[in-house]
Amino acid sequence: MNQPTLSRPACNALRGLAIIGIFLHNYCHWLGPIVKENEYQYFQHNVDWLNQVMVSADINLPIHLLSFFGHYGVPVFLFLSAYGLVMKYEAKPHLSVDQEAQMYSISGKMKFNWREPLRFIRYHYLKLFKMMIVGFVAFTMLDYLTPGPHHYAVLDIVAMLGMFNNILPEPDRIIWPGPFWFFGLMMQLYIIYRLLLYRRHWGFTVAMMVICIGIQLALGFANPESEAMNRYRYNFMGGMLPFGLGILYARYGEKILMTFHSNITNLIGVVFCLSLIYSLSGNMIGWTFVPFFICLLCVLLAELLENVNWLSGVYKALEWMGTISAALFVCHPITRKIFIPISRHGDIYAGLLLYIVSSICLAWLFTQLMRKIPNPKM
């Protein structure tokens, strides 16, 4: 395996950038007159709406762009999560001599040890649960104290706590707060990684990516607005492209996503990726492959942020945002429900600014709280 291509500060900075996109998107797309995104399904009328506001731009253009594109912070998180898994679990020798001896029976046949995968899955479930439960408890209490509370069924609550709500019918309706669908997605990807992709030949990862993309394209040709497409992309299949790229990038570096050792060339690459992301979003086939260019954009930005001196302030700010990204993810539904009425009643930017300031402050407090919860052990 190659030496780490992304440094820890660079990964934190990209997490910071991703969470900014996600938490701003999740506010902006709740506003009625603002362009809606194509996150789980492809709606041509949303693309037409975006093109229309680009032609006749007004003061709300940044809100439109955040609403339409901000959700692409999720593929960045998937890419970085996969990258981190490989760097953590595949950088060292898999087993000691004694452990290898235990894997063979007296007859010399190899035995499969289920304990190690189960320990891995349990450990990562508890890590996600530690993060999720703080935000879920705080949000549900606020939700019932404010207008328009969600009606939870018993199965909805159990599925949220067990992180299998993504596989249930109508995930849009039963997952509340909506952004917490990500926990079920990550749990699925952890299982897929440990059982099917861990220390396997690169062909397994590529095959998974190709199969998942192929099925998504088939669903898209049939009806890109269908509920089948919606449920498909709520689950690991919809995130397999950026997750698989993260695995391959950790193992093979620039053989997978090319970066340039020149700031000017990297800047040109960033502009090229941004233009491609916009243009590919205009049709269903291109939309399917946008996460690839989002991941490429990430590694190019990481190079730029690390190497351009006058961007050092931005880099440090993003790096700090990355350190509170987990807490910001779980707490922003709370602040959104409090401040969204201000924007809905006409003061869009006043509500947004209050939401940003309060979310970041609350995330810092949640970070301190989450540090008090003991970490799980492998």
Residue 377 within a domain: no
Query: Could you tell me the pLDDT band of residue 31, with boundaries at 50, 70 and 90?
Result: very high
Could you tell me which residues come within 8 angstroms of residue 121 by beta carbon, excluding any fewer than 6 positions away?
Answer: 190, 191, 194
pLDDT in tens, 216-253: 999 999 999 999 999 999 999 999 999 999 999 999 98
276 with 69: CB under 8 angstroms? no
| pLDDT given at position 37 | 97
pLDDT(346) > 70: yes
Domain assignment present for residue 293? The answer is yes
To the nearest whole number, what is the mean pLDDT of the chain? Answer: 92
Among 18-27, 175-184, 256-265, 304-313, the least confident range: 256-265
pLDDT in tens, 159-206: 999 999 999 999 999 999 999 999 999 999 999 999 999 999 999 999
pLDDT digits (tens, 9 = 90+) for 44-70: 999 999 999 999 999 999 999 999 999
Domain of 316, in residue numbers:
8-371
Mean pLDDT across the stretch 241-267? 87
Asked if pLDDT for residue 101 goes beyond 60, the answer is no
Residue 282: inside a domain: yes
| 376 found inside a domain | no
Cβ neighbours, 10 Å, residue 141: 11
Given a cut of 50, whether residue 289 has pLDDT beyond it is yes
* Within a domain: 1: no
User: Rounded to whole angstroms, what are the CA distances from 111 to 48, 104, 117, 175, 279?
Assistant: 56, 5, 14, 40, 51
Q: How many domains does the chain have?
A: 1
**Residue 131: which of 320, 375, 334 has the closest Cα?**
375
Question: What pLDDT shows up at residue 112?
Answer: 62
Whether 378 is in a domain gets the answer no
pTM of the model: 0.94
Q: Is the residue at 106 inside a domain?
A: yes
